[in-house]
A and B are shown apart, each in its own frame.
Chain A
Amino acid sequence: MSWVQKLYDTYNTCENSIGNLEASSYLLPICHTTQQAQIEITINEKGDFINAHVVSKEASKTIIPATEDSAGRTRGTTPHPLCDKLQYVAGDYLLFGGDKQPFFQSSNKLFEKDEIKIEDKSIFILECETNKNQLIRELYNKKLSPLAFLNSLISISNLEYLLESNFGISKISNEQVTPEIIVRNKNLLIEVFKNSMRKTITYSYLLEKWSNSKFGNRKIQAVFKYISKKQVISDLVKSKVLFSQNNQLITEWKENNKPEIFKLLPGGKDNKGNNKSWQADSFIRWIVEIPNELESKLWRDTLIWKSWIDFNTNSIENKGFCSITGENSIITYNHPAKIRSDGDKAKLFSSNDKDGFTFRGRFSHSIEACSIGYKSSQKIHSALRWLIGKQGYINGSQVFVAWATSGNDIPDYYKDTLNLFNDETLIEEISSPISTAESYANTLNKFITGYTVKLRNTNNIVILGLDSASEGRLSVIFYRELTSSEFLERIKKWHETCSWWQEIGFDTKLKKAKSFIGAASPKGIAETAFGNLKGENKNKIVKATIERILPCIIDGGKIPIDIVVQCVQRVSNRIAYEKHWEWNQALGITCSIYKQHYYERGYSMSLEKDRNTRDYLFGRLLAVADGLESWALYESDEKRETNAARLMQRFSEQPNSTWKIIELSLSPYKARLKSGAYKYNELIDEIMCLFKTDDFVSNQKLSGEFLLGYHCQRRNLKPAKKENDSEIENSNESTEHSLGE
């Protein structure tokens, strides 16, 4: 699929950003993952301990090499090749009271049932049947269980000789097998059953293989020499990084003056009674100091990365067809998780579906249906993770990310106009109270031109939306590919057609909402339409609404009519809004989307004195009545809601009869204001004249257009009642609440 290809291309193009640790989200080299480390150990080339420190939380993010299995591990099982926790790295873990199962090296006893970890029995059987070694074949024919089969193999003291020479059961030696030989035999078996016993490998076994391979490196060999001494914890205790009592690591530091390590890993129990992480759960990273070598930190050394990548890709043996590059290369069964965040277990490509009907029929095994190369998979997932961390929008389980394949910055389709403009002068221009539609258009042009220069036309913009219906699987819900000029044009069109006077968010310092001309964000629109729902349902609907609005921005379509209608209905019910500025915010957003949906009618943001559609005029009438009454109330220091505000809901349903009520109730206020009401009376007359005869008399329900008339007229009246507005806002003191993002 194209999006996969695009991610692959993006990774290749952005190769310079690999491992740029300064950014909050960085592009990982393939075959690596990130982990937070607590302890740094420094050794020299010969493998001697020099010193160690505790790593502070800010500096703890480390890039570590990982195998396919270790990258996807959940509980303590498969070790990482180089940097890992004490239970993997320290040979003396159990001696110092470590409580978890150690994986430093294979135990010197026979296999226990849960130790062998053969995931896919069919692969194990396949390996046994295709193995050419006579001993293995003869033993296999005895039809033992896998556990008994393997245990009988490791109990043979001359197993190494028999495997090399290809003799059978007859040549089994009668010697009693020693614990050391058991360990060696276990390592041999891991070699023989490469695929099925992949998860049984231990830390020292893997590190030994790597350091002795042709891709090995002095620094890796130094680390191996050091850990083979099995003194990691005792060295850490001697250098006062870890703390022990009677040669057992202390679980919890009860007094004051906690040492550094206990601040990060406090130990003890949490309020559910579970054990919290303690000092034996520390994650180690290495520094190898060699004279004349500039980079001594192994996690930053690009040569170490390359050494691991080469070793890892050479040691995997399944070759097959990669569906992304079309070449014959090493393929992978396991794909990385942690795409949307570090705790995310969902995978884009999963292939272990055994109960669903996803590929059975023509295909018996998932590899037949689809195979992806190991390198390609790593590149794609690495690029996606980086992009989501850098510029993705996460909304619950939904994620939207847009990027240019060249890696350039692109304007944010997800933000409202105020937050979109990142230039101070542009923001000023649109928030100034004297701005008009023309000045807004100019500002928008300036903004877009800035990007047109940066993104030349050959650039491709990809927009991808991901969501998961069930935990564990991620699916693509939205995918578009546009040229950069198309993309910029769509963004411009959106901000033009959906622009209106907005008052979004409440600035507690200035004691009023931020006002600007522009478009609202998709999230703002969704909240306006469905913000009154509670709980789970609200999240689901808001998510679904955002998903429907985004194509309007990116494809240039109209906002769906049901969202417009929903917003209009909510806004007409003015009394339901507690805070005045919240209602103003909703009003601005609703007007903007109404305008966008009916763009062909050409609504203008300033008052249209000659528009004589029924709904527009009724809206204007309401604004005039509202203005008159609120001025009268202000003059007499009363802080009530105006009649117009209270009756707005009814007005939208039965305009004619409600207008009668409103107009009659205006008489006392007109009397109070005396000559001041002259202007308002004139306006009412003017509007009445514009009505076509039958329109006014009809009591039919009003559409959202009346809100546009209302808003424009109200704005037009503003200079006369500017003080009124700020008074009303001040009386409704509220805490900040920002919707537009």
Chain B
Amino acid sequence: MENKVNFKVYGKFALFTDPLTKVGGEKCSYHIPTYEALKGVISSVYWKPTFIWYIDKVRVMNRIKTQSKSVKPLNYNGGNTLSIYSYLSDVEYQVQAHFEWNLFRADLEKDRISGKHHDVALRMIQKGGRRDVFLGTRECQAYIEPCTFGVEKGYYDESDEIAYGLMFHGFDYPDEIGLNELHARFWWTKMLNGIIEFPKPDNCKIKKKVKNMSANPPKTIGLQEEGLLI
């Protein structure tokens, strides 16, 4: 079954927040995107509960530059504080991803039609996405285009291996793992010649249980709605 997509996402700023700095309010970005952020990008482009997106690899095209901005975040009870956020500036990534059926959604079995979702996904990448695409945080708006992975010169093509230490990988949500728990996954990141190959969520050994959570998806009435199709 065809399920691979390639796309290029680029924007002026990106903020892949480091959880260590997030809690204190002075957000600082990771230098490279997280698995979850890229999954969010492709999910903004096209997503249905029938399937789960998996990011295979990402290629960093531009040199990693940071820029700090002063911001005025609002307080819950009115008023504001002052903070400094560190963004990445002028980013471009080539991403290779694929999707697999979400086997925990038995009610959507009839929607697992080979070819349908893949065609729509490709068309939506061509159109630039169904929803707004953002890199990390919502204010970092980005554009998305189809591309061929590996073509074109990137800044880190000959840079050997760069290690980034322990980084956040993604969240295990209840509807995707079948347990009523929320987990956070971490992994030891390495970038080789500008390409980062993400391990699959199941292969991430380092997990932290965040809390109990139950999946509560809206009920689907199936593909054949009475009276809709004649």
A interface, CB within 8 angstroms of B? 1-2, 4-5, 320-321, 323-326, 347-351, 353, 355-359, 362-364, 366, 368-372, 467-470, 473-479, 547, 551, 555
Contacts and interface: CB of A to CB of B under 8 A. Distances in A.
B45 interface: no
Given A356-B75, A362-B182, A477-B84, A350 B23 contact: yes
Interface string B2-42: 00000000000000001111111111101100000000000
B23 A369 contact: yes
B82 A469 contact: yes
A469 B23 contact: no
A353 B75 CA distance: 10
Given A326-B206, A363-B210, A476 B165 contact: no
12 contacts: A5-B166, A325-B166, A326-B188, A353-B25, A362-B182, A369-B23, A469-B84, A473-B24, A473-B83, A478-B68, A547-B68, A551-B65
B76 A350 contact: no
Contact of A467 (B20, B21, B84): B84
B222 interface: no
A349 B85 CA distance: 14
Contacts of B50: none
A435 to B, nearest CB: 35
B11 to A, nearest CB: 20
A358 B22 contact: yes
B186 interface: yes
Nearest to B187: A326
Main secondary structure on chain B at its contact with chain A?
strand
Contacts of A2: 31, 164-165
A474 B65 CA distance: 21
A470 B83 contact: yes
A13 B75 CA distance: 41
Contact of A475 (B84, B165, B211): B84
Contact of B26 (A320, A359, A474): A474
A475 B86 contact: yes
B220 interface: no
B86 A323 contact: no
A473 B26 contact: yes
A355 B206 contact: no
A355 B77 contact: yes
A467 B66 CA distance: 15
B186 A326 contact: yes
Nearest to B162: A481
Contacts of A356: 25, 73, 75-76, 81
B24 A349 contact: yes
B230 interface: no
A436 to B, nearest CB: 35
A468 B165 CA distance: 25
Nearest to B82: A469
A478 B65 CA distance: 10
B86 to A, nearest CB: 6
B74 interface: yes
Contact of A348 (B24, B70, B86, B164): B24
Question: Interface size for chain B: under 10, 10 to 19, 20 to 34, or 35 or more residues?
Answer: 35 or more
A357 B188 CA distance: 29
Nearest to A9: B165
Given A325-B166, A475-B26, A1 B206 contact: no
B208 interface: yes
A480 to B, nearest CB: 8
Given A355-B75, A469-B70, A479 B86 contact: yes
Contacts of B73: 356-358
Which residue, A320, A362, A372, has most C-beta atoms of chain B within 10 A? A362
Which residue, B68, B74, B76, has most C-beta atoms of chain A within 10 A? B68
Interface in B174-188: 182, 186, 188
Contacts of A325: 166
A347 B20 CA distance: 12
Contact of A1 (B20, B26, B68, B85): B20
Contacts of B86: 475-479
A358 B75 CA distance: 9
B24 A355 contact: no
A324 B24 CA distance: 16
Nearest to A470: B82
A475 B18 CA distance: 12
Which residue, B26, B28, B167, B210, has most C-beta atoms of chain A within 10 A? B26
B165 A4 contact: yes
B22 A370 contact: yes
A59 B84 CA distance: 39
Contact of B65 (A323, A469, A555): A555
Nearest to B84: A475
Contacts of B70: 469
Contacts of B82: 469-470
A294 B133 CA distance: 67
A323 B19 contact: yes
Interface in B79-94: 81-86
B164 A358 contact: no
